Amino acid sequence: MGKNTIPEPPQSANLIQAGTFITGDIESNGNMRIDGNLKGTISTGGKIILGSTGSIDGDIICVNADIEGRVNGTIKVKDLLSLKSTAAITGEIYTDKLAIEPGARFTGTCTMDQRQAESAGNETLA
């Protein structure tokens, strides 16, 4: 007789859709995709994807991030931060690795220091 196993659900992301406006802080252990607007801090133990229609006025703390939209605040990414061609960032960046596509705009400071990036990951859900 065969063994019955329940398949694990695919890794999915929490979604804030375009046209949604949230004021307040968000904490999550999983991945997040934001196509709407957030005014507050977002902290996750996974990846944050900010779509081209999304904006965040506040801080981002995560392990990895893909930014296509607008951010006004401090970004702390433990591993890889990718700024896509439509990204517009104003603020400070702390990360271990940074990838920037042509067309991305960034005004502020960037610190690429593994120790500071790792401390950013320790702040996640502290």
pLDDT for residue 26: 94
With b for 16 or more beta-carbon neighbours within 10 A and e for fewer, the 112-121 pattern comes to eeeeebeebb
Q: Report DSSP letters for 109-122, one per residue.
A: EEEE-HHHHHHHHH
Look over the chain and give the mean of its residue pLDDT values, rounded to a whole number. Answer: 87
Residue 71 maps to a domain: yes
- The whole-angstrom separation of Cα 59 and Cα 1 is 53
Q: Please state the pTM of the whole predicted model.
A: 0.83
DSSP secondary structure letter of residue 74? -
- The whole-angstrom separation of Cα 59 and Cα 29 is 16
pLDDT digits 0-9 by tens, 33-81: 999 999 999 999 999 999 999 999 999 999 999 999 999 999 999 999 9
Residue 113 maps to a domain: yes
Residue type, position 59, single letter: D
Residue 5 CB neighbour total at 10 angstroms: 6
Structural domain containing residue 50: 26-123
Residue 105 maps to a domain: yes
Residue 49 maps to a domain: yes
Domain count, the chain: 1
